[in-house]
Amino acid sequence: MARLPFEDPDPSFIPLAGRRALDRAGLKLSLRAWQSLSFLVRETVARLGEEDEVDGARVRELLEGVAPEPERIEPLADPPAGAVPAEVSGALGGERPLDAEKWRGLSPVARYALFSYARRGRAEKLAGAYDSLFRS
């Protein structure tokens, strides 16, 4: 299962691609439930999260019967692919510029990661992700 270069490599954690798949499917899954899944199911969920369009129905199907049961949430939309969201550019500030061309060149999972970190106020994670993507 692929992970972005700035992600924790610990396979017991939910990778960002898996989190994106869960968010798009409208599910909040506990770490304990994630860890109870077979490697094949975890890998499939993460691969679905890497796709341009996440198949939310397939994600929900893969997680049927998992315990503890996932919490149903409103499916979260991806950040727009065509323009840098204000939350991201504002959180990055002038020190880490991100224009629309660079933004569009990112994978959907990388855009999801930057947006999620910015939205949650995770400044250190956002800076680390930016540096990994653009300054390496």
C-alpha to C-alpha distance for 47 and 26, rounded to whole angstroms: 17
Q: Are 27 and 73 in contact (CB under 8 A)?
A: yes
SS3 27: strand
Task: Give per-residue pLDDT as tens, 30-71.
Answer: 999 999 999 999 999 999 999 999 999 999 999 999 999 999
Q: Are 20 and 108 in contact (CB under 8 A)?
A: yes
Task: Give per-residue pLDDT as tens, 78-103.
Answer: 999 999 999 999 999 989 999 999 99
C-alpha to C-alpha distance for 28 and 21, rounded to whole angstroms: 10
Q: Are 86 and 118 in contact (CB under 8 A)?
A: no
